[in-house]
Amino acid sequence: MPLLDRTGLKADPFTRPDFSSENDPATAAIIVPLASLEEALSARRSGQRIGIDVPNTAVPDDLPTQAGIDLIAIAFPKFGDGRGFSIGHALREQGFTGTLRVSGALLPDQFAFALQCGFDEVEIDADRLARQPIEQWLAALGDVTLSYQEATDGTPSIFAKRAAARKALAE
């Protein structure tokens, strides 16, 4: 599946092994369902990176964010369901420093917001990428420059900018 970050398309080093078949889960970087995390960690080879698939109904405080988790892919089943944004932001506030990935239905207009919430990359299915080319995704980054929420990168919200402007006028 195509993978996009703020610079464009990139190769995905992670694979999603099928533990129920003969496939070898001992590749260099794997993404497993949250329910299979303990199995993956116990079978981990030296240097192997492990990521987890997380539903958008997960409670951030209940998610494992220890050093052994390199990537968390949060499901976005519908573009109108913003729970994944909240989970990603909460994970960053809790100190998760690994890669955060959007997995599922996201629109180009939501790409900048995902980055502001702390996501690093977005999986885009090939059909969506055919309808909405990479140029549209990257152009959308310049279209959204303000946010109502505090960004995880320290960019102030619209409210913080307004408060700073009022304070400057009062001085």
Which domains does the chain possess? 3-144 (3.20.20.70)
Task: Give mean pLDDT in consecutive 10-residue pieces for the chain, a chain of 171 residues.
Answer: 89 80 63 86 84 91 81 90 90 92 91 91 90 90 72 73 85 84
Q: Report the alpha-carbon angle 71-107-135, nearest 5.
A: 95
Q: What pLDDT does residue 53 have?
A: 93
**What is the per-residue pLDDT for 24?**
55
- b/e map 35-45, b = 16+ CB within 10 Å: ebbeebeeeee
What pLDDT sits at residue 90?
92
**Would you state the pLDDT for residue 21?**
47
Question: What pLDDT is attached to residue 92?
Answer: 92
CA dist., res. 84 & res. 74, Å (int): 6
Closest CA to 64 of 104, 43, 36: 36
Say what the pLDDT of residue 26 is: 54
* Cβ atoms of residues 80 and 56 within 8 Å: no
